[in-house]
Amino acid sequence: MLAAGDTAPDFTLPDQHGEPVSLSSLRGQTVVLYFYPKADTPGCTAQACGVRDHRSDYERADAVVLGVSPDAVKDIAKFDQKHGLGFPLLADRDHSVAEAYGVWVEKSMYGRTFMGNQRTTFVIGADGQIRDIHREVKPAEHDDLVLGGLSAG
Positions marked active-site: 44
Q: Report which of 139, 119, 126 is spatially closest to residue 45, judged by C-alpha positions.
A: 139
**3-class SS string, the chain:** CCCCCCECCCCEEEECCCCEEEHHHHCCCEEEEEECCCCCCHHHHHHHHHHHHCHHHHHHCCEEEEEEECCCHHHHHHHHHHHCCCCCEEECCCCHHHHHCCCEEEEEECCEEEEEECCEEEEECCCCEEEEEEECCCHHHHHHHHHHHHHHC
Tell me the C-alpha distance between 25 and 18, whole Å: 16
Tell me the C-alpha distance between 78 and 3, whole Å: 33
